[in-house]
Chain A
Amino acid sequence: MGKTTLEFDSKWDLSPSPEGTAHVKIKDQYDLFIGGKWVKPESGKYFDTINPATEKVISKVADASNKDVDKAVKAARKAYNEVWSKMPANERGKYIYRIARLIQERAKEFAIIESLDGGKPIRESRDVDIPLAAGHFFYYAGWADKLQYAFPNRTLEALGVAGQIIPWNFPLLMASWKIAPALATGNTVVIKSAETTPLTLYKLAEVIKDSGIPDGVVNIVSGAGETGAAIVNHPDINKIAFTGSTGVGKIIQNAIAGTDKKSTLELGGKAANIIFEDAPLDQAVEGIINGIYFNQGHVCCAGSRLFIQESVKDVVLRKLKDRMESLIVGDPLDKNTDIGAINSKEQLATINKFLKIGKEEGATMHQNSCDLPKKGYWCRPTLFTDVSQSSRIVQEEIFGPVLAVQTFRTIDEVISKANNTPFGLSAGVWTDKGSKIFNLTSQMRAGIVWANTFNKFDPTSPFGGYKESGFGREGGLQGLKPYLKF
Chain B
Amino acid sequence: MFMGKSKAQTLPDFRLSPRVDQVGVNDRISRITSRSIKKESKMQGLKMALNMIDLTTLEGADTVGKVNQLCNKAKYLHTSNPDLPTVAAVCVYPNFVSQAKIALKGSGINVASVATAFPAGQSSMEVKISDTKLAVDAGADEVDMVISRGRFHQGEYNYVFDEIAAVKEACGKARLKVILETGELGSLDKVRRASDIAMYAGADFIKTSTGKISPAATLPVTSVMLEAIKDYFYATEIMIGMKPAGGISNSKLALHYLMLVKETLGDAWLSKEWFRFGASSLANDVLMQIEKQKTGIYQSKDYFSKD
Query: Which positions in A face B, CB cutoff 8 Å?
Result: 1, 4, 6-15, 17, 123, 127, 278-284, 286-287, 290, 315, 318, 322, 326, 335-336, 432, 452-453
Contacts and interface: CB of A to CB of B under 8 A. Distances in A.
Interface string B17-28: 011110111011
B34 A123 contact: yes
B41 A12 contact: yes
A324 to B, nearest CB: 11
User: Lowest 5 CB-CB distances: which A-B pairs, in order?
Assistant: A283-B24, A6-B266, A17-B36, A280-B21, A335-B36
B19 A280 contact: yes
Given A14-B37, A15-B40, A432-B19, 11 more contacts: A6-B230, A6-B233, A6-B265, A8-B263, A8-B267, A12-B44, A15-B39, A283-B23, A326-B262, A326-B263, A453-B27
Contact of B19 (A6, A127, A278, A290): A278
15 contacts: A6-B268, A8-B262, A12-B44, A12-B45, A12-B258, A14-B37, A15-B37, A17-B36, A17-B39, A123-B34, A282-B24, A283-B24, A290-B27, A336-B36, A452-B23
A123 to B, nearest CB: 6
Nearest to B48: A12
A4 B268 CA distance: 12
B234 A1 contact: yes
A9 B39 CA distance: 19
Interface of B: 18-21, 23-25, 27-28, 34-42, 44-45, 48, 224, 227, 230-231, 233-235, 237, 258, 262-263, 265-268, 270
A280 B188 CA distance: 11
A287 B26 CA distance: 12
A428 to B, nearest CB: 12
Contact of A286 (B24, B233, B235, B262): B24
A13 B41 contact: yes
A131 to B, nearest CB: 14
Contact of A453 (B23, B34, B230): B23
Contact of A280 (B24, B230, B267): B24
B227 to A, nearest CB: 5
B233 A4 contact: yes
A282 B237 CA distance: 19
Secondary structure of the A contact surface, majority rule: loop
Contacts of A322: 230
Nearest to B42: A15
A11 B37 contact: no
Contact of A4 (B27, B224, B234): B234
A11 B267 contact: yes
A250 to B, nearest CB: 37
Nearest to B263: A326
B237 A8 contact: no
Contacts of B20: 280, 282-283
B266 A283 contact: no
Nearest to B261: A12
B18 A282 contact: yes
A9 to B, nearest CB: 8
A14 B23 CA distance: 27
A7 B271 CA distance: 14
Contacts of B19: 278-280, 432
Contacts of A14: 35-37, 41
Given A12-B267, A17-B36, A280 B18 contact: yes
B267 A10 contact: yes
B53 to A, nearest CB: 17
A339 to B, nearest CB: 13
A83 to B, nearest CB: 43
Nearest to B269: A6
B18 A281 contact: yes
Contacts of B42: 15
B273 to A, nearest CB: 14
B237 A17 contact: no
A336 B233 contact: no
A7 B266 contact: yes
Nearest to A17: B36
A286 B30 CA distance: 12
Contacts of B48: 12
Contacts of A283: 20-21, 23-25, 27-28
A10 B40 CA distance: 14
Nearest to A326: B263
